[in-house]
Structure 1
C-alpha cells in the first residue's frame, strides 16, 4: 500500500502527518519545538518542489509513505488520481494507493507562518508561528492519520482519495 499525504506546500502538515504515520513523532503528546523543526522536510520545501513526491519511509506494515505539495492547483491531485486509476485499469499497477488531504488540519497560525517563512523569508517571525500552528494542529493531524489508515484498511477500493473536509 502507498499513502500520499498532500496539502498546499507539502512541507508542514504533510510532513507532520508522515512523521506521525511512521511513528517518528509520538502521538501521545504534543510535539516539542525541537521535534517539529527536526521532522523530515518540515519547512524546507519551496515553490519548485510542488508536485514532487517525497518518500518518508515504510510503516510498521511495510506500507510506503509519501508527501506532496500541490500549490494552488485544483487539478494536480485529481490528475494524479486519474493517472493512477488508468494504470490500475491497464493492470500496470497492483498496489493500493491512498491520497489524503491534510489541508483541513492547517490552523491560521501555520498559514501565516508558512507565508512569512517560505514566501517572504522572514523566518524569525514565520518559524515561531509554524511551531505554534504545529502544536495547535497536533491532535487534528493525529486524528487524520488514524482516519486515513482506518479507511485504507477497511475499504475494498484499490484507489482512495480522501479530501478530509
Structure 2
C-alpha cells in the first residue's frame, strides 16, 4: 500500500504527518524543535519540485509513505492522482491525505517567509512553533489513516 501525505509545498505539514506515520516522531508528547527541524525534507523542498512525490519511508507494515506538494493546484493534482489510481485499478492500494487543512496561520506565514522570501531562520522557527501547537491534531490524523489500513495504534 502507498500512503501520500500532501500539503502546499511538501515542506512542513506533510513532512510532519509522514514522520509521525513512520514513527520518526512520538505520538505521546510534543516533539522538541530539533526533532522537527532535523526531519528529512523539512522546510527544504524547492518550489520547482511541487507536484513531485518524495519517498519518505516505510511504516511498521512495510507500506510506502510519500509526501507531495500540490501548490495552488491541489485539486487538479489530487484529481489527476485519483483518476490514475482508478484507471490502473489501484483503488484501495493508495491513500492520499491532505494535511494542509490542519495547519494554522503561524505555519502558513512561516512557510511563506522561509520558502518564498528566503527568510529561513525566522520562518522555519515559526513553522515549528505553529506545528507544535496543532501536533495532537496531526497525531489524530495519522491514527485514523493507520486504523484505515489496519494498523493498531500505539
TM-score normalized by the length of structure 1: 0.86
Deviation per CA, 1:98-119, whole angstroms, max 9, x where unpaired?
0111011111100000000000
Q: What does 1:108-123 correspond to in 2, within 5 Å? A: 108-123=105-120
Tell which structure's C-alpha radius of gyration is larger: 1
Deviation at 1:124, TM superposition (A): 3.0
1:97 aligns with 2:98: no
Q: What does 1:1-165 correspond to in 2, within 5 Å? A: 1-73=1-73, 74-88=75-89, 93=90, 96-153=93-150
Root-mean-square deviation over aligned CA pairs = 1.5
Deviates more, 1:3-12 or 1:122-131: 122-131
List structure 1 segments (4+ residues) > 6 angstroms apart after TM superposition.
none
Q: Secondary structure at the match of 1:121?
A: coil
TM-score normalized by the length of structure 2: 0.92
Separation in 2 of the partners of 1:128 and 1:15? Answer: 15
Separation in 2 of the partners of 1:53 and 1:80? Answer: 11
Which stretches in structure 1 are left out of the alignment for 5+ residues? Answer: 155-165
**Could you tell me whether the CA contact under 8 Å between 1:36 and 1:134 is conserved in 2?**
no
Separation in 2 of the partners of 1:7 and 1:152? Answer: 21
